[in-house]
Amino acid sequence: MIGDEVTTQLNQNADEIIEVLSTDLKNLVKHLRGFKSENRSELDRRFAIAITEAEKLDAYIYVYILGPLGSNE
């Protein structure tokens, strides 16, 4: 099955996937925070929302993708 092939390939590359995704997500949140000003403008509010959503995505990927890859499920 294709799903089994993909799972096998993901497990073989798990360390690389974990490192790349983790680094990219943390950098995204860091950059968004760096670009956000503190002037309470509409744009500032949008950056705050984007930061929250990026943090939620980071948590989701950590729990539902990286966790299982790390444990080779």
The per-residue pLDDT for range 34-52, each reduced to its tens digit, is: 999 888 899 999 999 999 9
Domain assignments of the chain as residue spans, ordered by start: 2-70
Q: Determine if the pTM surpasses 0.95.
A: no
Report the alpha-carbon distance of residue 45 to residue 14 in Å, rounded.
36
Report the alpha-carbon distance of residue 72 to residue 43 in Å, rounded.
41
User: Which runs of consecutive H residues, i.e. helices, occur in 13-41?
Assistant: 14-35
Query: Is the per-residue pLDDT at 73 higher than 90?
Result: no
Report the alpha-carbon distance of residue 55 to residue 49 in Å, rounded.
10
* Higher pLDDT among residues 69 and 72, named by residue: 69
Q: Which residues contact 37 (CB under 8 A, 6 or more apart)?
A: 43, 44, 47
